[in-house]
Structure 1
Amino acid sequence: MLLKICWMLSVLALCQANLRIKRIVGGYPALVPEGDGVPNDINEKINKTNDNNIIQPSSSTTVNNIIYVQDQYRTAEILGVEEPEGVCAFKGIRYAEPPVGRLRFQRPVFIPLNGKYEATKYGPPCPQLSSDNRGIVGSEDCLFLNVFTPLKKNCKKNYPVMIWIHGGGLNSGSALQYGVSHLVKKDVIVVTIQYRLGSLGWITNNLKELSGNMALFDMRIAIKWTKEYISFFNGDPERIVLAGQGSGASAATLLSMTDFTKGMLSGVFALSGSPVSPFAVDSKPEITYSNITKLMGCNQAVGLEVVKCLQMLSLKDIISADTKFENMKISNEGYLTGLANLLSTGPVVEGKNDGRFLPFLLLDTPLNLMKMNRIPKIPILTGVNKLETKSGILGKYRAQVQEKLTQIPDYINKVLPNNILKSNSGLFKNGNVNNVLQSLFENNNYLKLVSSSLGNTVKDFEKVVQGTTDALFNLPAFFTSHLWSKHSSSYFYSFEYKSKSFKTPGKWFLPNILGAHNKDNVKNDVGNTHNSAKKDEDTGEPGHGDELIYLYDVRSIEGMPIPGSELKDQSDIEMRDNFTSLVAEFIHHGKPRLSKLDDEWPSFTSAKRSDYVILSENSRIEKKFRFCEMGLWGGLPDILQSSYCNFPGISDILKTVPDLLKEGVLGDVTSNAINALSNPLNKIAGLVNTDHITPGLINLSPNKPTKQNNQQSNGGLPLLGGVPVLMDQRKTTENKRPTQRPGLGLLGKKKK
């Protein structure tokens, strides 16, 4: 009888909850609903963000913004602040359980809003090595997000939303580095999120106990949180653009192609990163896992014992192992790996779902996913900077490049192109360099065309910068824009504005991968650098991350303003206004718009046209983005044979690679991603082939390409091979929801 009474009371409480109406955000606080059904003392749960030790910005704030949230099951009250920059901020909102203890190295557990939150202080960044290499900053309890909204006095309902995924090579950076007020003032809500870094977010042995991609699931949970709650902040849940820079851009594009975000996003904004960038996915996760667990002392464990061993490690041991592996990898593989590839753990291809375990996120390589119609029907705004690799080559890798130029005969003409080819792992075919493309780059006459495209009058360092920029950044962006344009609008830009104030402002945002910013990077009033012996090599063209200062104010890793980083030159300020305006237009309407252009911003449409916009003091629309260079680095037959490029002897060269004419460089990409869980006995942790172990590390050098005997022709002459000009939208079961385990949500969280 007692059980029946309890059951009836529960049903009545649930029915009463279903009759409630969501409160309207803004204006005066809504009345407290009757019959809440939950004791007040339980709802008085204060957000733990307020107890962290992070130093908060000292600028004065006025607490005047309260958000009320109510759904069918719980209520919440969020106290925010009005920032001096003229925006409302709700800081340090926890979106997932702290990933510590038994949750370390596991998928995140979603936390719904419930109770009272004093969202006036930032949560700590995720743990990482400090930019000066002197210690560790951050805390493992770091899964927080921040919501920035326009002031109430400018209030209108249904602001579009941008979720920002920070860059930093997936092992550094934080959401606190980006001052978003310039975007927010253009009637956009910005949500900045944090995700686990390094091994804490990515390590995997491809077994169900340690399946990997934890940080990607962190991002996905933050997207879910935004989708569910942003309406209470006057945001539009139907207009959410996922954005990121560098590795954050690659993560954003990868997430947009998964079933886990289907129907959640209205667009993607990707700066200097793509799903086929060489740093998007770890192409050798087994080797990465074996080497890092060896450094951690957990390489002898198997199955659940691996997880237990890793969970027992100190934070210092984990960060130390990541750092040692990164340094050893650069030492063994050289500067190209440092410029282009993941230096530690990162996203991995999990394989196809087999229905036995929690569903996977990356079912195949990004290249295969793009060719298999997994690109969502949402627009993308993407672009590159003019000399992406400049800061690295003229900075932290300068000595290595100089050594290669000095000691290796004809390095630029014969050695560099092949080394770049082997580093461009995002475009690998079935795990290795496309053998047809490899054959092209073994032809001396073809190499002469490649080297001539770098310029005959420029210096050697400039040639290295241009070649690596074209192959490792421009080409992946070019392919992505082309393939995306088959499904939706693809808008492309080349950022070429030369700052009047700073040479390499990107170093403020990405100090761990570009090197710390110093006074040599600040220009004086007449445009020269202070104390710079290399000013003749660095002409001030924008490199990786240098465009960020025209979207965001610079902040430290812990969210503090950095003196001397403010834009003061009027031309710089105008560029910031133009860049934030076109981005805001894309977030609002799905299409960028720049008033300085003579016409509407064109879609990329195809690789043959490759329409794009140059962003500079004289922004303009152009066609054929780095057209001939893309043809050479990508081995694209239609471009190589075009009269526009007029390459001498190209017909005879292409006769040596008939398969290229049949399929294109991306043809015959076999869908052969292996589900590592299909036979766990073949993937037991620690049982990695160690026949070719080099001292300290297992097989860090890229594998030599092997001949593929199962090539298939698609017929015709498609530009990219296997990607016809018009692609039929196949109706498959791939678009169905991922399989769920009984009684569990998608992420392993018990259903309410």
Structure 2
Amino acid sequence: MPDGESEGLPVLVWIHGGGFRRGSANQYGTGHLVDKKVVVVTVQYRLGSLGYMSTSSQQLPGNVAMFDMAAAMNWIKEYISFFGGNPNNVVTMGQGTGASSAMMMGLSPMTQDNVKGIVAMSGSALSPNAVDEKPMDATDELAVQLGCPLKPHLAMVRCMQEAPADEIVFADETLQTFRLASQGFVGGLGGMLTPSPVVEGKEDSRFLPSFLPEQPAETLENGNFPNISLLTGVCKDETGRAVKGGFNRELQSKLQSVPDFLNKVLLKDLASHASSVINNVQNLFGGLAASPLFQQAEKAVGPITKVVEATTDALFNLPMFRASQLWSKNGGKAFVYSFEHTSPRAAEAGRSFLGGLPLMQAALDAPAALNETFHGDDLAFVFDARPLEGQKDAARGQVSLSDPEDMKVRDIFTGLIADFAHSGQAMVRAKGDKKQGLSLPGFGSGGGEGGKKENNFLVIDKNPRIGKDFRGCQMAVWSGLTGPQLPADSCADIFKNVAGALGGLAGGVGNTAGALTGGLLGGGGGSAGKAGGQRKPPNPIGGLFGRR
């Protein structure tokens, strides 16, 4: 209960991840956040086809799982004061697809008035698997598996309603297996493997309002969301566990059998999966293979490292970056972090939270991560890991942290989230210090030379610090943008002699050869761009084709 706070404590509403079809609210022990004087509500919602199947028509418009979350938000508004929470200070929070959902709560006309802030970990409403633009593909496949007619839609829906729930769950698993086989490892890392949220449109002749009347990208572009704060970030090597683990054999086979696989196949696959945030870059990639510097970089770091960096950029970094840009551009305040603390124990906990996701597939004989932080590794620094049913029993799957450095990072991360819930600002404080701390400027805010806007971000590890220009050169090329929020000038002197080889390709990205020739090849990004106000020397083999 709040200590003398008449309005109550801030409320964090946790929406678990799991690819929209796995996981449980019970898995997440919330005590470390509660210790920071916030009220935490964990939300369970319908999963898989039971929560997201859609015919894109009034017979089965979809998004019932999102309506579950909306119902939870309404309950919180009505009753959370009885539990010591402030109904006027509710922050939605999630990880992975849960982060996509948490952000959609702030974008949907149905729920946005109840949201006063958003915490999005390793996901956003712009993530490639956040919104299914072709929901009938999955629905038709499931109907065939269940022996239901494809037309008319009403007959299909009536047939599916008669199917036992366990048959629908099994059909979801089969659908994921089929889609993994057809989409390959890029689909496994960030593709649409099972039914997901859909855009219903402004009017579909139902008695209920639409949860998503338009694409989240349109809502962000048009500024149709409240002036609230966003705290969002990524793990430094999001896709590394799966690329070096579960998908490694497939990757090695393609690298050996497909000529120029990285350039001619991988980058085009990524552009296709992340088309909502990647702008007109497919023609760019073809010219890079001819560069002698590409050959130099390949010898320096190897193809697997480049795959990790490319997939992390396209599927995680860029959607987060673009959402933060649009958020700050249209009146909100965005704060960005990069989680970079490495802990074998935390990695084990991450796998227990998100077990079954293709993104979490680690090879049994894979070497231990060395200075790498994968998808889900940050979860153990916020929550205690519990089994699906929620029992607090180490023998049944609970994983906890005990290393002093891990405990320090947990205090930093939970303190950052709790401070954000209290104030709408991003602050890292020393333990027990309520006044002084490291204050993170807003993403895309002023403060640079001549008032230039800077993409500041917080590096979270045992020694937190502020970095500048979050993967600036890479984001410039992936998004096809230049301008005051993308540091083309800082990339201009890197690989500038490639400009002639790339020639007219610069038009698809910007007006300067510097923006192009830096891009995927240049330095910058992660904590290796600028940290603490000090610019590090250019890395001649940085970026996608090298190593940070």
TM-score norm. by structure 2 comes to 0.83
Select 2:459's aligned residue among 614, 633, 639.
Answer: 614
Select 2:338's aligned residue among 472, 494, 506.
Answer: 494
1:476 partnered with 2:319: yes
Match of 2:303 in 1: 460
Match of 1:114 in 2: none
Take 2:288 and 2:405, find their aligned partners in 1: how far apart are those partners? 45
The letter of the residue matching 2:399 is S
CA deviation after TM superposition for structure 1 residue 457, in Å:
2.0
Q: Secondary structure of the residue that 2:301 maps to in structure 1? A: coil
The letter of the residue matching 1:558 is E
CA deviation after TM superposition for structure 1 residue 340, in Å:
0.5
Match of 2:444 in 1: 605
Take 1:631 and 1:654, find their aligned partners in 2: how far apart are those partners? 18
Take 1:300 and 1:517, find their aligned partners in 2: how far apart are those partners? 34
Take 2:64 and 2:50, find their aligned partners in 1: how far apart are those partners? 8
Match of 1:551 in 2: 382
- 1:504–1:654 CA distance, 2 compared to 1 (3 A): farther
The answer to whether the 8 Å contact 1:508/1:516 transfers is: no
Take 1:183 and 1:650, find their aligned partners in 2: how far apart are those partners? 50
1:214 partnered with 2:64: yes
Take 2:424 and 2:370, find their aligned partners in 1: how far apart are those partners? 34
The answer to whether the 8 Å contact 2:118/2:230 transfers is: yes
Take 1:480 and 1:374, find their aligned partners in 2: how far apart are those partners? 13
Matches within 5 A, 1:726-737: none
Q: Secondary structure of the residue that 2:489 maps to in structure 1? A: coil
Match of 1:571 in 2: 405
Matches within 5 A, 1:117-196: 150=1, 157=6, 158-196=8-46
1:534 partnered with 2:366: yes
| Higher fraction of helix | 2
The answer to whether the 8 Å contact 2:187/2:193 transfers is: yes
Take 1:450 and 1:614, find their aligned partners in 2: how far apart are those partners? 29
Select 1:276's aligned residue among 122, 126, 134.
Answer: 126
CA deviation after TM superposition for structure 1 residue 516, in Å:
7.8
Match of 1:267 in 2: 117
1:425-457 deviations in Å (ceiling 9; x for gaps): 4426xxxxx5x322223x323885996897752
Take 1:604 and 1:515, find their aligned partners in 2: how far apart are those partners? 28
The letter of the residue matching 1:485 is S
1:506 partnered with 2:350: yes
Take 1:205 and 1:590, find their aligned partners in 2: how far apart are those partners? 39
Q: Cα RMSD between the aligned structures? A: 2.7
The answer to whether the 8 Å contact 2:427/2:437 transfers is: no
- 1:282–1:412 CA distance, 2 compared to 1 (3 A): same
Select 1:405's aligned residue among 255, 273, 278.
Answer: 255
- 1:336–1:189 CA distance, 2 compared to 1 (3 A): same
Take 1:585 and 1:165, find their aligned partners in 2: how far apart are those partners? 19
Take 2:87 and 2:472, find their aligned partners in 1: how far apart are those partners? 39
The answer to whether the 8 Å contact 2:179/2:193 transfers is: yes
Take 1:484 and 1:658, find their aligned partners in 2: how far apart are those partners? 27
Matches within 5 A, 1:346-361: 346-353=196-203, 357-361=207-211
Gaps of 5+ in 1: 1-149, 429-433, 521-531, 663-752
1:594-647 deviations in Å (ceiling 9; x for gaps): 025974211102596210010012210010011111112222234484243434
Match of 2:415 in 1: 581
Q: Secondary structure of the residue that 2:387 maps to in structure 1? A: coil
Identical-residue share of aligned pairs (%): 37
Match of 1:204 in 2: 54
Take 2:217 and 2:374, find their aligned partners in 1: how far apart are those partners? 26
Matches within 5 A, 1:389-404: 389-404=239-254
Match of 1:303 in 2: 153
Q: Secondary structure of the residue that 1:511 maps to in structure 2? A: coil
CA deviation after TM superposition for structure 1 residue 166, in Å:
0.2
The letter of the residue matching 2:26 is L
Match of 1:387 in 2: 237
Take 2:311 and 2:299, find their aligned partners in 1: how far apart are those partners? 16
1:629 partnered with 2:451: no
1:187-213 deviations in Å (ceiling 9; x for gaps): 110000100000000111111110111
Take 1:642 and 1:427, find their aligned partners in 2: how far apart are those partners? 22
CA deviation after TM superposition for structure 1 residue 413, in Å:
3.7
The answer to whether the 8 Å contact 2:349/2:385 transfers is: no
The letter of the residue matching 2:321 is F
- 1:212–1:491 CA distance, 2 compared to 1 (3 A): same
CA deviation after TM superposition for structure 1 residue 259, in Å:
0.9
1:27-58 deviations in Å (ceiling 9; x for gaps): xxxxxxxxxxxxxxxxxxxxxxxxxxxxxxxx
The letter of the residue matching 2:303 is D
Q: Secondary structure of the residue that 2:281 maps to in structure 1? A: helix
Take 1:276 and 1:494, find their aligned partners in 2: how far apart are those partners? 18
Q: Secondary structure of the residue that 1:505 maps to in structure 2? A: helix
CA deviation after TM superposition for structure 1 residue 463, in Å:
1.6
CA deviation after TM superposition for structure 1 residue 238, in Å:
0.7
Take 1:624 and 1:426, find their aligned partners in 2: how far apart are those partners? 22
The answer to whether the 8 Å contact 1:613/1:621 transfers is: yes
1:377 partnered with 2:227: yes
The letter of the residue matching 1:461 is I
CA deviation after TM superposition for structure 1 residue 459, in Å:
3.0
CA deviation after TM superposition for structure 1 residue 291, in Å:
1.5
Take 1:515 and 1:485, find their aligned partners in 2: how far apart are those partners? 30
CA deviation after TM superposition for structure 1 residue 286, in Å:
2.1
1:85-108 deviations in Å (ceiling 9; x for gaps): xxxxxxxxxxxxxxxxxxxxxxxx
Select 2:491's aligned residue among 644, 651, 654.
Answer: 644
1:129-162 deviations in Å (ceiling 9; x for gaps): xxxxxxxxxxxxxxxxxxxxx5x8x675401100
Take 2:296 and 2:98, find their aligned partners in 1: how far apart are those partners? 30
CA deviation after TM superposition for structure 1 residue 406, in Å:
2.1
CA deviation after TM superposition for structure 1 residue 408, in Å:
1.6
Count of aligned pairs: 491
CA deviation after TM superposition for structure 1 residue 304, in Å:
2.6
Take 2:425 and 2:202, find their aligned partners in 1: how far apart are those partners? 34
CA deviation after TM superposition for structure 1 residue 375, in Å:
3.1
CA deviation after TM superposition for structure 1 residue 342, in Å:
2.2
Match of 2:514 in 1: none
CA deviation after TM superposition for structure 1 residue 658, in Å:
4.0
CA deviation after TM superposition for structure 1 residue 551, in Å:
0.3
Match of 2:101 in 1: 251
Q: Secondary structure of the residue that 2:307 maps to in structure 1? A: helix
Take 1:421 and 1:515, find their aligned partners in 2: how far apart are those partners? 19
- 1:188–1:654 CA distance, 2 compared to 1 (3 A): farther
TM-score norm. by structure 1 comes to 0.62
Larger-gyration structure (1/2): 1
1:591 partnered with 2:425: yes
1:560 partnered with 2:414: no
- 1:263–1:287 CA distance, 2 compared to 1 (3 A): same
- 1:515–1:633 CA distance, 2 compared to 1 (3 A): closer
The letter of the residue matching 2:144 is K
The answer to whether the 8 Å contact 1:166/1:248 transfers is: yes
Take 2:488 and 2:94, find their aligned partners in 1: how far apart are those partners? 36
- 1:312–1:450 CA distance, 2 compared to 1 (3 A): farther
- 1:198–1:637 CA distance, 2 compared to 1 (3 A): same
CA deviation after TM superposition for structure 1 residue 405, in Å:
1.8
Take 2:462 and 2:295, find their aligned partners in 1: how far apart are those partners? 29
CA deviation after TM superposition for structure 1 residue 302, in Å:
1.7
